[in-house]
């Protein structure tokens, strides 16, 4: 019977997430998934021999958090052969995301199987796959899954310094870490983590970790030059530590607390929402968070000098001080959150059910979490297709109208400029709000000929402001198109040369 155990573990790891991926296969990118369009535009520029930043997205510091003018080149370089030889083939693009998710799961499974056992590792991967795909991780092209796979590849190879590294191992770690940094600048904590790890294990590892650190610093600097090409972007998108510190210790702590408060939802996401009833999920999360904290204490005590702990300390510190925040930024931490949930629940059951064999409490904990995972899988199957931009008839009508009337001078302000530019080929910047002088100057500076009111309710306060702006100055804007969701205004004054 033992020969069937590995098969059962693989089925537990991959069957639920594979079924959800198949169910989501035909879905368009969610209305909140926007990075994909810019990655595709960068890759398309490379595939057609244009400059890397020769894309249709127009950056404005007034809406800097929409995204920088240039994204890191790791994912576009991965997409390059697909777009070069097959074009933006949706099947191949989704397959690429599924491969990245699979690589992430495999790295996590291999890491935890040798540390907490294969069944616990399989359950960690089941929860991880469900948590990611219920958030539609493979729904659109994005750098997060590839980044997570590369980071956990580094975690796996770095190990626990059980033996001296060879230069071959150091080279493998350097390559994977460089890939992670090329995918996302959030790979920078790898440098801090490996530096700290190298100091803790200097007698065993020698200078090899520090040679890797130097390589990663060079890759980070080169990537930074590509992404942060404009001073205005650095100021608008950079860390807010200095700004918060200028307000004093209270301001700094308040900003950090705001980030912790936002990321609490991502922690709950990693533990899934197994039940259809809100109250039942709340009770489950009280138990899961208690188990997480208990398990985290146990794990830290046993892994005080591990590379994973060194990296996570650096990574979480970064998340608390940077300006942008998004639950998906916590994805690299999801495996540990679930592993600590399992370990903590086992320990709590051993305390509340005294006299039982540890193997019994372990099986009770694993079975309970397996049932919760199965319920969460059922909830994922029952979910209705989420709201998306490209599937809306009004959006397609808007894009079709612009394709029909566009000229060489057409430049548009739209709430989702990157998707607009990718779908229509027309340069686009985000809509902005502010005083008349500020908005008018930004439209003129970027030679905007049209702006679009309407965003399908994503940012209603912003859309209301845009519509009010056009109505307040009717002599400067002319309505040229309208449907139930969008209104297009022509900017009447001549664009600046």
**Nearest alpha carbon to residue 385 among 68, 136, 82, 200:** 136
pLDDT in tens, 124-174: 999 999 999 999 999 999 999 999 999 999 999 998 655 678 899 999 999
The answer to the question of residue 110 being in a domain is yes
Domain ends where: 339, 358, 382?
A: 382
Q: Check: CB of residue 120 under 8 Å from CB of residue 340.
A: no
Q: Indicate whether 295 and 424 sit together in one domain.
A: no
Q: Indicate whether 378 and 451 sit together in one domain.
A: no
The answer to the question of residue 83 being in a domain is no
Q: Indicate whether 167 and 230 sit together in one domain.
A: yes
User: What is the Cβ-side half-sphere exposure of residue 199, based on CA atoms within 13 angstroms?
Assistant: 6
- Token pair, residue 244, equals 């918060």
Q: Indicate whether 193 and 174 sit together in one domain.
A: yes
Q: Indicate whether 308 and 438 sit together in one domain.
A: no
Q: Indicate whether 378 and 411 sit together in one domain.
A: no
Q: Indicate whether 434 and 376 sit together in one domain.
A: no
- CA–CA dist 419, 389 (Å, integer): 9
The residue count of the chain comes to 497
Q: 116-119: which pairs have CB atoms within 8 A and are 24 or more residues apart?
A: 116/339, 116/342, 116/343, 118/5, 118/6, 118/9, 119/9, 119/366
**Residue listed under structure tokens 């995918």:** 183
Domain ends where: 332, 350, 382?
A: 382
pTM listed for this prediction: 0.92
Q: Check: CB of residue 447 under 8 Å from CB of residue 411.
A: yes
The answer to the question of residue 53 being in a domain is no
**pLDDT at 277 (0 to 100):** 93
Chain centroid, CA 15 distance in Å: 23
- Angle subtended at Cα 42 by Cα 41 and Cα 43, rounded to the nearest 5 degrees: 90
Element (H, E) at 90: helix 90-116
CATH number of residue 455's parent domain: 3.40.50.12610
**pLDDT at 248 (0 to 100):** 58
Find the domain containing 415 and state its range: 393-491
Strand order in the sheet with 487-491: 428-429, 412-413, 450-453, 487-491, 477-482
Q: Indicate whether 275 and 336 sit together in one domain.
A: yes
User: What is the Cβ-side half-sphere exposure of residue 143, based on CA atoms within 13 angstroms?
Assistant: 27
Q: Check: CB of residue 300 under 8 Å from CB of residue 357.
A: no
Weakly modelled stretches of the chain, pLDDT under 50: 1, 231-237, 241, 494-497
Q: What is the largest CA-CA distance in the chain?
A: 83
Adjacent-strand bridge partners of 488: 452, 481
**pLDDT at 4 (0 to 100):** 55
The answer to the question of residue 276 being in a domain is yes
| Coil, helix or strand at residue 488 | strand
The answer to the question of residue 497 being in a domain is no
Which phi-psi region, left, alpha or beta, contains residue 441 (left: φ > 0; alpha: ψ -120 to 50)?
Answer: alpha
Q: How far is CA 269 from CA 260, 313, 327, 460, in A?
A: 14, 21, 9, 26
The answer to the question of residue 66 being in a domain is no
- CA–CA dist 34, 278 (Å, integer): 29
The answer to the question of residue 131 being in a domain is yes
Neighbours of 440 (CB within 10 A): 16
Q: Check: CB of residue 489 under 8 Å from CB of residue 480.
A: yes
Q: Indicate whether 318 and 235 sit together in one domain.
A: yes
Q: Indicate whether 255 and 302 sit together in one domain.
A: yes
Q: Indicate whether 231 and 374 sit together in one domain.
A: yes
Looking at the structure of the chain, the number of domains it has is: 2
Q: Indicate whether 199 and 255 sit together in one domain.
A: yes
- Token pair, residue 50, equals 């244009």
The answer to the question of residue 46 being in a domain is no
């Amino acid at each position: 019977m033992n020969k069937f155990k590995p098969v059962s573990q693989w089925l537990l790891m991959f069957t639920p997430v594979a079924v959800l991926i198949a169910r989501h296969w035909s879905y368009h990118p969610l209305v909140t998934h926007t990075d994909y369009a810019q990655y595709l535009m960068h890759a398309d520029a490379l595939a057609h021999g244009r400059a890397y930043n020769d894309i249709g997205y127009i950056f404005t510091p007034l809406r800097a958090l929409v995204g920088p003018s240039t994204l890191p080149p790791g994912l576009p370089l991965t997409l390059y052969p697909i777009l070069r030889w097959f074009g933006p083939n949706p099947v191949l693009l989704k397959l690429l995301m599924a491969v990245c998710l699979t690589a992430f799961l495999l790295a996590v499974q291999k890491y935890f199987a040798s540390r907490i056992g294969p069944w616990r590792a399989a359950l960690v991967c089941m929860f991880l796959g469900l948590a990611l795909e219920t958030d539609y991780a493979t729904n659109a092209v994005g750098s997060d899954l590839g980044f997570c796979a590369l980071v956990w590849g580094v975690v796996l190879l770095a190990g626990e310094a059980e033996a001296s590294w060879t230069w071959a191992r150091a080279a493998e770690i350097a390559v994977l870490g460089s890939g992670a940094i090329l995918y996302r600048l959030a790979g920078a904590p790898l440098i801090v983590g490996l530096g700290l790890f190298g100091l803790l294990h200097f007698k065993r590892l020698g200078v090899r970790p520090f040679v890797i650190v130097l390589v990663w610093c060079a890759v980070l600097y080169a990537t930074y030059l590509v992404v942060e090409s404009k001073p205005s972007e650095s100021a608008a998108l950079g860390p807010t530590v200095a700004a918060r510190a200028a307000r004093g210790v209270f301001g700094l702590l308040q900003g950090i607390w705001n980030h912790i408060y936002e990321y609490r939802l991502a922690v709950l996401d990693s533990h899934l929402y197994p039940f259809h009833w809100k109250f039942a999920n709340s009770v489950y999360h009280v138990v899961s968070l208690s188990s997480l904290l208990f398990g985290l204490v146990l794990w830290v005590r046993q892994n005080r000098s591990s590379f994973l702990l060194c990296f996570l300390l650096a990574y979480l510190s970064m998340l608390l001080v940077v300006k942008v925040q998004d639950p998906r930024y916590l994805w690299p931490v999801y495996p540990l959150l679930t592993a600590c949930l399992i370990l903590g629940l086992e320990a709590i059951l051993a305390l509340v059910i005294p006299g039982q064999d540890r193997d019994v409490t372990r099986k009770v904990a694993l079975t309970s979490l397996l049932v919760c995972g199965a319920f969460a899988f059922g909830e994922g199957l029952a979910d209705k297709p989420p709201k998306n931009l490209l599937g809306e008839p009004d959006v397609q009508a808007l894009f079709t109208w612009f394709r029909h009337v566009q000229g060489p001078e057409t430049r548009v302000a739209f709430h989702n400029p990157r998707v607009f530019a990718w779908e229509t080929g027309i340069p686009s910047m985000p809509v902005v709000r502010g005083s008349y002088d500020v908005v008018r100057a930004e439209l003129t500076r970027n030679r905007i000929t049209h702006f679009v009111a309407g965003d399908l309710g994503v940012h209603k306060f912003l859309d209301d402001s845009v519509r009010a702006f056009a109505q307040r100055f009717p002599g400067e804007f002319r309505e040229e198109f309208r449907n139930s969701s969008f209104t297009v205004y022509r900017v009447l004054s001549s664009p600046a040369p």
